[in-house]
Amino acid sequence: MSVDRNKLDAMLKWYRQEVGKNLMAAIIVNREGLVMAALKGESDTEIEEDVIGGVSALVEPVLTRITEEFSSGAFGTGTFDTEEHRIIFCEAGPEAIFVTVLDSIAMVDPIFPYAYLAAEKIARIFDGRTVSPVIPKLIEDLSIQNIERKVDTLQKIKIESAEYAYKLILGGEGGVGKTSMVHRFVENSFLTDYKSTIGTSIMKKECGFEGLDSKVRFVIWDLAGQAQFKRVRQSYLSNAEAGILVYDVSRKETFDSVDDWHKEIKSVSPMISLILVGNKIDLIEDRVVSTEEGEEIAKRLNLSYIETSAKTGENINDAFKMLALQIIKKYIVTEEV
Ligand code: GDP
Ligand code: MG
């Protein structure tokens, strides 16, 4: 079986960029413990070249324990702390395990969603499925608790999934592709005709997390018809736990209205987990808003940012997954094994 190593390497580089200075190494090992790809952290210029060799020697006994102790060969996700390191293990499909080695002062919780997203991408790369190597930026929620540091203890990470479904709303000007995104996500189909009837369609979709025994259930509210109906909009936006604010990268005015949408959504649902999406990136020739501009406004509004095409399907699943990860970050719990 041939694995796209270039893609694995590209993904690891994105991962290093998003995790930042606490990363000592990121290693993909197969089930026999063989290193398939590895990258050392940025801050380690001092450390000798053999850091990966050293780290994988450190990781090996823990891997053995993990496969033994976590039931039925599938261990999901866990952490292990040593005197000098904090290590996160994520199962990455049936073939690989993704190992993140952090320094001892690192917080695990904010990094965990990145590790999890990366592991899913690795699983898909091993499967030969199409996947973008980009690891999007997730905003940090400073209210979340850190997984306690327990040296020499294997801790299994679990998600306390809420039993109910989260209301998800979409914001952004008419015609930016909100309905198309939802249909892509829900049915994986692309609507070619544009219907702007008034009303709301409601769709349900679960976002699964392999190896975590956990799901985020979304009830997606899609308001047909447009923004002129201020009164409808208030009740549409209220009590929403999740939201996607969309603009069209080929229409500047939709980008310029992001601030207003953000303000309105936040005023109606202050606790919402929200992400920003630049859609229609397939329209390369017509593009007028750059990636940098998108990232800039996202940073200013403290939102995660991702670029998509509802037409080709690019990054649509990742956008919803990112949102789901943002929600589950609040429910991370551990169990000693
Ligand atoms: P909404 O008003 O925000 O819900 O936007 P729609 O989903 O109804 O889409 C508006 C128009 O843009 C439709 O003609 C879609 O076919 C088109 N569209 C949506 N997403 C994309 C995309 O990613 N790329 C391209 N080229 N067209 C898109
Ligand atoms: Mg629509």
Going from the Cα of 177 to the center of ligand 1, the distance in angstroms, rounded, reads 4
Given a contact cutoff of 8 angstroms between Cβ atoms, the answer to whether 249 and 288 are in contact is yes
The letter for the amino acid at 325 is L
pLDDT at 198: 45
CA distance 331 to 137: 19
Q: Is 179 in the pocket of ligand 1 (CB under 6 A)?
A: yes
Going from the Cα of 137 to the center of ligand 1, the distance in angstroms, rounded, reads 24
CA angle 207, 309, 264 (to 5 degrees): 75
pLDDT at 258: 98
CA distance 133 to 65: 30
Among 211, 228, 244, smallest CA distance to 327 is for 244
Mutate to test the pocket of ligand 1, among 179, 180, 195 (most ligand atoms within 8 A of CB): 180
Closest ligand, as measured to the CA of 310: 1
Q: Is 184 in the pocket of ligand 1 (CB under 6 A)?
A: no
CA distance 260 to 206: 30
pLDDT at 173: 93
Going from the Cα of 174 to the center of ligand 2, the distance in angstroms, rounded, reads 7
pLDDT tens per residue across all 337 residues of the chain = 578 889 999 999 999 998 988 998 999 988 777 788 888 887 655 544 566 666 667 777 777 777 666 545 566 788 888 888 899 988 888 888 899 999 988 888 888 888 988 998 998 899 888 788 888 777 665 555 667 888 888 887 776 666 678 899 999 999 999 999 999 998 765 555 444 444 677 888 888 776 666 778 898 888 876 555 676 788 888 889 999 999 999 999 999 999 999 999 999 999 899 999 999 999 999 999 999 999 999 999 999 999 999 999 999 988 998 898 888 776 777 777 7
Q: Is 282 in the pocket of ligand 1 (CB under 6 A)?
A: yes
pLDDT at 67: 66
CA angle 8, 115, 277 (to 5 degrees): 85
Count of CB atoms situated within 10 Å of the CB of 283: 15
The letter for the amino acid at 124 is R
Closest ligand, as measured to the CA of 189: 1
Domains of the chain: 5-159 (3.30.450.30), 163-330 (3.40.50.300)
Q: Is 284 left (phi over 0), alpha (psi -120 to 50) or beta?
A: alpha
Given a contact cutoff of 8 angstroms between Cβ atoms, the answer to whether 83 and 43 are in contact is no
Element (H, E) at 167: strand 166-171
CA 199 vs. chain centroid, Å, equals: 30
Q: Is 224 in the pocket of ligand 1 (CB under 6 A)?
A: no
CA 283 vs. chain centroid, Å, equals: 24
CA-CA-CA-CA torsion sign (3, 188, 115, 77):
negative
Q: Is 310 in the pocket of ligand 1 (CB under 6 A)?
A: yes
pLDDT at 69: 62
Q: Is 177 in the pocket of ligand 1 (CB under 6 A)?
A: yes
| Phi, psi dihedral angles at 59 (to 5 degrees) | -80, -30
**Helices 258-268 and 291-301 sit at what angle, rounded to 10 degrees?**
30
Instruction: Tell which atom from ligand 1 comes closest to the C-alpha of 191.
Output: 16
Predicted TM-score (pTM) of this structure: 0.75
Going from the Cα of 134 to the center of ligand 2, the distance in angstroms, rounded, reads 27
Closest ligand, as measured to the CA of 194: 1
pLDDT at 197: 45
Going from the Cα of 123 to the center of ligand 2, the distance in angstroms, rounded, reads 33
**DSSP letter for each residue of 93-147:** TTTEEEEEEEETT--STTTHHHHHHHHHHHHHHHHT--------B----TTSPPP
Q: Whose CA is nearest to atom 6 of ligand 1?
A: 177
Tokens, residue 108: 């695990």
Instruction: Tell which atom from ligand 1 comes closest to the C-alpha of 246.
Output: 3
